[in-house]
């Protein structure tokens, strides 16, 4: 299905040269001058559109596609049907993402500050920024070139945004310093007070003032309604390229390396440290103060209660190496099957 | 306890005929002309109020109620105390909900557009809409008759809302087409970019442009701070009557049938498909690309890692049929009891 | 690391007497007149700063600190290095929190109502309140003395806030009555409709009107993007001092005692009752209608499916007493180890 032009304006048609330049693919044969109107899935693309096929499991769809061109790995080039151009690349999915962005580039900042926006004293707005209706920029905040603030976005006092940041509708950020190209999706919360307090002898709680910041590296993305608390002492730090999905929670003083991925509803408790390229599955949790090493992967719903060595995949709650978790599931399955078959072993009451 | 009139204005008193018409119940005996002021629980209702009793477990409260009338199934009609009208219906709870709405109808749209609202170029606002302070309606958006936008609601460019939709305070919706009577509770996020990207050989991530929409069927409700991402290719679709509780996550390209129920903090990963009348318990998760059949029920905190056949109840992480999950819990309980009793079996270190 | 003065204005320097008064500590020796500039961690504090050490595990850092003074328990007073004042107190962490607040008091309300704020008819704004840009206060709402509403905060019709409440950016509250010093962090949702509805014979859902309120006791705090639904009949009640972390869900008619703590992403289903000082770990869930007794503690990711007696610690899903949960984990670990070692016991397919 082609993208609905009411929602996704199209930058096209694009000549084959632009397609090759953006995708990094090479064309087989000598197709001459061609133009394309957009991208679409194999089954839906027409002669004006480009699609992709990244493996043999889609070869059947490839054989019957009506697409004008298909991004394929070299191993599939021979299976591109007649009349369809083979655009050969090592990473068809990646090349497709780049082509999709060629035809549907994210709307650039319009360079206008809506008259209803409130800009605090001493704030510095870089050239070419777009500031939407009812956005609020605090005193002394600094926005780099070409930032976009959506409607109702709130940027707190003294916050620094690097060039090309996008703060979508209803997102708020305070006590934070951001690199270039940081994106906060709608309703994301960055820089609010962390969850720190101490009990008095009388049973009251006294808040520990949270005196650190949030530092977001270049190209960090924070999902819709996700939360990143500022540090208590020292800072909460998300390394460059790190991406948080919706509704993720990051506690105070957490630190991640570069290009970590936290899937929806995952949570990382205070002062945990993640290395580079760590992946945390959906609804998984990491206990505070732990260390998760480089390229470790934490499965969905896992509960990490110990350090995870670099390169290790863990699963389960409490989380253990994936192979052990799988063994455990299989053992339980066998025990359940045995209890179902042998009446003397049948549990007397299934009461839990 | 009667509803606090400062917060819940009352449409009453109502004559018995209106009560019978709204509830679909039949009155026993010939009560003559009566009026009622509202609804309340059995233990708190007075002679001006109507209550309900849906089963024998509340029969004790029924026996001593001071309510003026009680909705009951036929089987309990004889146990309604003297002086209290028996309103007989097959579904007393449902009838009570309808009566509560008779006395406390959701406030209708006031037909006013607050002067601070920002309406984009080419937007079409249906007759009788209410648009609250600081609401923002994008260019070319279309609102059906009698919609309500709360304070700070944001409706994106080209979004279509059917008649009678309600977008509560701080909710945002973009890239979406909605049927009639759709409700977004405060802070709900609909239509933002899904979580899709590909790694480059250098370890950067490139966003896959998310070029699909969200389609919400008639009467779909999205809970407070819940998130529904738009499709990547193709659309994210929630069938008519589907209800999401607070803080639920729905990934890109998820599709549900009609009248599905997703309880608070549940998550459904990208491209999963749910049939009709599927129920997902609180904090449960469904892995991407799976199929959950009609009327299947997923228990709280379950982790669905395989397709679930229609009509099946599953529980546990990984999720298995409920009976097997229960057996498993019982087996673990027995093993724990045994280890507690026999010292030679006692684990040496309780270290995990 | 000292707090960044761009984000955390400092109220200082402070004389030793003020430090002693605020912290409740006693100074060893006769230091004469001294002044301090702020607080910092042991490893980072300089001669103008005060730090704390609450146990022997930090004694090494204590031995080499350059801090001008350190809060310590009496047992560590002798280990405070020469040139550094020993400030003796039974609870160094608590005393430190109070000192941090002495040097960095939360900014007081500025007493100004931003001209863009919308104040409903009949609303009563107490003396000294601060109301930020684009905040909306409903008709007949009442704000006590010295409340702060952040940018875009929305307070619904007839809502009552006691003195000193803070409603941060983008938070919304309706159908609620709050004590003194209540704090809603950014994006918190309080008072929206709970998740209650009944199926019709035709498979539609009919909403049960939610006619109760939310009552928040003194000093209750609701984390960023957390949700507290109003009661269905009767009220949702959070006892004085109760604190909810980010993204927590509290269903309709839940009641808690005083000083409960719900860690991030925890969920409590409708009508559950928590006693005083209950702690619910991150991502844990409590089934509806259950009772969790005073001082019970529910571990992270636990799934409470039965009442929890007072003073009991539970863990696991389904939750069991912590010792049993630990035993269970150890048993599973041993079973996995055995299956790894004995080939005849090896599971044939690790297929779950």
Model confidence pLDDT, tens digit, residues C147-186? 999 999 999 999 999 999 999 999 999 999 999 999 999 9
Q: Compute the distance between CA of residue B177 and CA of residue B216 in angstroms, rounded to an integer.
A: 6
Beta strand C130-131 with B279-280: parallel, antiparallel or unpaired? Answer: unpaired
Look at residue C96 and tell me whether its pLDDT is greater than 90: yes
Look at residue A236 and tell me whether its pLDDT is greater than 90: yes
Instruction: Please list every residue in chain B whose beta carbon sits closer than 8 Å to the beta carbon of residue C203.
Output: 241, 258-259, 277
Q: Compute the distance between CA of residue C307 and CA of residue C292 in angstroms, rounded to an integer.
A: 6
Cβ atoms of C275 and C257 closer than 8 Å: yes
For C172, other C-beta atoms within 10 Å of its C-beta total 30
Q: Compute the distance between CA of residue A290 and CA of residue B332 in angstroms, rounded to an integer.
A: 28
Q: Compute the distance between CA of residue A190 and CA of residue A250 in angstroms, rounded to an integer.
A: 9
Low-confidence stretches of chain B (pLDDT < 70) are: 1, 343-352
Q: Which two tokens stand for residue C322?
A: 């912590």
Flag if A209 and C104 touch (Cβ within 8 Å). yes
pLDDT tier for residue A352 given thresholds of 50, 70 and 90: very low
Q: Compute the distance between CA of residue A325 and CA of residue C350 in angstroms, rounded to an integer.
A: 10
Instruction: Please list every residue in chain B whose beta carbon sits closer than 8 Å to the beta carbon of residue A317.
Output: 317
Instruction: Please list every residue in chain A whose beta carbon sits closer than 8 Å to the beta carbon of residue C329.
Output: 318
Instruction: Please list every residue in chain A whose beta carbon sits closer than 8 Å to the beta carbon of residue B252.
Output: none
pLDDT tier for residue C343 given thresholds of 50, 70 and 90: low
Q: Which two tokens stand for residue A122?
A: 């001493």
Give just the sign of the alpha carbon dihedral A242, A246, A248, A253: positive
The mean per-residue pLDDT over the stretch C83-88 comes to 96
Enter the pTM of the model: 0.96
Model confidence pLDDT, tens digit, residues C201-211? 999 999 999 99
Interface test with B, best of C264, C330, C332, C349 (most B CBs within 10 A): C330
pLDDT, residue C351, reads 41
pLDDT, residue C1, reads 60
The mean per-residue pLDDT over the stretch C48-77 comes to 94
Give the distance from residue A53's alpha carbon to the nearest chain C alpha carbon, in angstroms: 28
Q: Which residues contact B13 (CB under 8 A, 6 or more apart)?
A: B35, B36, B37, B48
Flag if B134 and C118 touch (Cβ within 8 Å). yes
Cβ atoms of B44 and B2 closer than 8 Å: yes
Give the distance from residue C123's alpha carbon to the nearest chain A alpha carbon, in angstroms: 23
pLDDT, residue A343, reads 59
Partner C, chain A 212-271, Cβ-Cβ below 8 Å: 212-213, 225, 227, 229, 233-234, 247, 249, 251, 265, 267, 269
Partner A, chain B 180-209, Cβ-Cβ below 8 Å: 187, 189, 192-193, 195, 197-201, 203-209
Interface test with B, best of A10, A22, A90, A186 (most B CBs within 10 A): A186
User: What angle is formed at CA A166 by the lines to CA A162 and CA A167, rounded to 5 degrees?
Assistant: 110
Cβ atoms of A328 and A316 closer than 8 Å: yes
pLDDT, residue B30, reads 83
Q: Compute the distance between CA of residue B124 and CA of residue B131 in angstroms, rounded to an integer.
A: 13
Partner A, chain C 165-184, Cβ-Cβ below 8 Å: 168-170
pLDDT, residue B131, reads 98
For A40, other C-beta atoms within 10 Å of its C-beta total 23
pLDDT tier for residue C289 given thresholds of 50, 70 and 90: very high
Instruction: Please list every residue in chain A whose beta carbon sits closer than 8 Å to the beta carbon of residue B187.
Output: 170, 187, 225
Computed over every residue of chain A, the mean pLDDT equals 95
Flag if A100 and B208 touch (Cβ within 8 Å). yes
pLDDT, residue A55, reads 86
pLDDT tier for residue C352 given thresholds of 50, 70 and 90: very low
pLDDT tier for residue C56 given thresholds of 50, 70 and 90: confident
pLDDT tier for residue C114 given thresholds of 50, 70 and 90: very high
Computed over every residue of chain C, the mean pLDDT equals 95
CB-facing half-sphere around the CA of B225: CA atoms within 13 A: 41
Q: Is C90 on the interface with B (CB under 8 A)?
A: no
pLDDT tier for residue C342 given thresholds of 50, 70 and 90: confident
Residue of C nearest to A151 (CA): C152
Look at residue C347 and tell me whether its pLDDT is greater than 80: no
Instruction: Please list every residue in chain A whose beta carbon sits closer than 8 Å to the beta carbon of residue B269.
Output: 263-264, 282
Annotated active-site residue in C58, C152, C170, C252: C252
Q: Compute the distance between CA of residue B77 and CA of residue B54 in angstroms, rounded to an integer.
A: 11
Cross-chain CB nearest to B264 (options C170, C174, C251): C251
DSSP character string of C224-246: TT-EEPPPSSS-EEE-TT-EE-T
Model confidence pLDDT, tens digit, residues C4-29? 999 998 898 999 999 999 999 999 98
Cβ atoms of C317 and B283 closer than 8 Å: no
Model confidence pLDDT, tens digit, residues B221-237? 999 999 999 999 899 99
pLDDT, residue A350, reads 43
Q: Which two tokens stand for residue A325?
A: 């978790």
Q: Compute the distance between CA of residue C332 and CA of residue C101 in angstroms, rounded to an integer.
A: 47
């Amino acid at each position: 299905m082609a993208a609905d032009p009411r929602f996704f304006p199209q930058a096209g048609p694009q000549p084959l040269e632009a397609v090759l330049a953006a995708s990094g693919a090479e064309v087989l044969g000598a197709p001459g001058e061609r133009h394309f109107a957009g991208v679409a899935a194999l089954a839906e693309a027409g002669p004006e559109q480009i699609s992709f096929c990244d493996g043999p499991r889609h070869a059947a769809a490839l054989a019957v596609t009506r697409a004008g061109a298909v991004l394929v790995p070299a191993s599939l080039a021979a299976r591109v049907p007649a009349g369809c151009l083979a655009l050969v690349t090592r990473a068809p999915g990646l090349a497709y993402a780049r082509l999709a962005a060629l035809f549907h580039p994210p709307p650039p900042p319009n360079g206008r500050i809506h008259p209803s926006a409130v800009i605090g004293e001493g704030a510095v707005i870089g050239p070419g920024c777009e500031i939407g209706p009812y956005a609020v920029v605090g005193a002394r905040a600094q926005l780099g070139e070409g930032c976009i603030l959506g409607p109702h976005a709130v940027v707190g006092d003294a916050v620094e945004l690097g060039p090309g940041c996008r703060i979508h509708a209803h997102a708020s950020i305070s006590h934070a310093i951001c690199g270039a190209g940081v994106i906060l999706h709608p309703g994301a919360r960055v820089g609010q007070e962390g969850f720190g307090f101490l009990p008095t002898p009388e049973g009251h709680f006294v808040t520990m003032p949270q005196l650190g910041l949030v530092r977001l590296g270049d190209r960090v993305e924070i999902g819709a309604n996700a939360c990143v608390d500022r540090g208590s002492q020292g800072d909460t730090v998300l390394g460059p390229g790190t991406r948080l999905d919706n509704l993720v929670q990051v506690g105070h003083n957490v630190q991640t390396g570069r290009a970590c991925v936290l899937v929806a509803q995952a949570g990382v408790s205070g002062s945990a440290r993640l290395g580079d390229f760590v992946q945390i599955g959906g609804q998984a949790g990491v206990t505070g103060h732990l260390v998760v090493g480089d390229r470790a992967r934490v499965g969905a719903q896992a509960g990490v209660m110990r350090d995870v060595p670099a390169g290790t995949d863990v699963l389960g709650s409490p989380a253990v190496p994936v192979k052990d978790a799988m063994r455990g599931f299989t053992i339980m399955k066998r025990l359940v099957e045995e209890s179902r078959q042998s009446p003397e072993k049948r549990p007397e009451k299934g009461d839990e």
